Amino acid sequence: MIIVTGGAGFIGSNIVKALNDRGLDDILVVDNLQDGKKMLNIADLDIADYMGKEAFIAAVEADNDFGGGVQAIFHEGACSATTEWDGRFIMQNNYEYSKALLHWCDRHQAQYLYASSASVYGAGSVFKEKRENEHPINMYAYSKFQFDQYVRRFLSQTSVQARSQVVGFRYFNVYGPREQHKGSMSSTAFHFHNQINESGVAKLFAGTDGYENGEQRRDFVYIDDVVDVNLWFLDNPKLSGTFNLGTGHSQSFNDMANAVVKWHGKGELSYIPFPEHLKGAYQSFTEADIGALREVGYKKDFRDVEAGVKCYLDWLVSR
């Protein structure tokens, strides 16, 4: 069995789909379906079972073995809102939950592949997996950063022979199918597409942090590339560590909007004042250093924004 937490969410549901594409359906999806619309992400997928998040956490804490034979847990479940400042909630939901799964996998010799985040780098300009480059600037980022720190200590204190695989993926700006439920936290590709459909105008932030209008830059990575890296590590269980997962090249929000405009064959860009509540808590530039990922053997190329947007919007209009 393979367990996917957050399995009805964006990255989790795409991992389930990729496992199905391999002919695998002995999958336990764990999620919180209070928002029942997330069901649409897994309605076309085949799984063995579903568990609510709270019931799953209780089972993990009781050391339930889920019938034995769990090969791996993909831990994608988290509160991903960078605007959430309830620290107790975030640390319980993101940090303590992740620790409990880490130790369960260690006891049961299951592979543990979990979602970290490029937000751990904060407003820095060096995006390499080193402690000196990490300075989170919001609670979500801090929860991911602190768990990465916990994993580093865990890996340094446990011999390779005595433990199972533990891999953290520092996701950069992921976009693609099955993210529509995320609302305001959906990708700019999704929002620009809807805005152009509705008004013909894609709205971007005005300049900030020394960047011109719409020229803030992010490492936008397409979901299929993200999933491919996840499954590559599943196939290479001797590899552990924390790895950046981006393309290695930043592009501007203008690039993203223009790719959406090009796909539609119409539309224009406009700029709105930069939100006050994001000042000091916003990354105006990210670009993954993927040297560590390449060094362990992952060689495939990543899509650029124009190629990724085409794949994504082709999918959206086919639904």
163 with 197, same domain? no
Predicted confidence at residue 197, as pLDDT, reads: 96
**Domains: count for the chain:** 2
pLDDT digits (tens, 9 = 90+) for 212-255: 999 999 999 999 999 999 999 999 999 999 999 999 999 999 99
Strand ranges in 101-200 using DSSP code E only, listed in sequence order: 111-117, 166-171, 173-175
Confidence of residue 82 (pLDDT cuts 50, 70, 90): low
CA neighbor of 40 nearest in space, from 205, 243, 180: 180
Q: How confident is the model at residue 293 (pLDDT cuts 50, 70, 90)?
A: very high
Print the domain residue range for 255. 176-217+250-287+305-318
Can you tell me the mean pLDDT for 21-34? Answer: 96
* Residues 98 and 129 occupy one common structural domain: yes
**Do 79 and 181 sit in the same domain of this protein?**
no
Active site positions, annotated: 140, 182
- Based on the fold, state whether residues 163 and 234 are members of the same structural domain: yes
Percent of the chain residues topping a pLDDT of 70:
97
What DSSP assignment string belongs to 233-299? Answer: HHT-TT--EEEEES-S--EEHHHHHHHHHHHHT--EEEEEPPPGGGTTS--SB-----HHHHHTT--
First-residue to last-residue Cα distance in the chain: 30
Query: Is residue 261 situated within a structural domain?
Result: yes
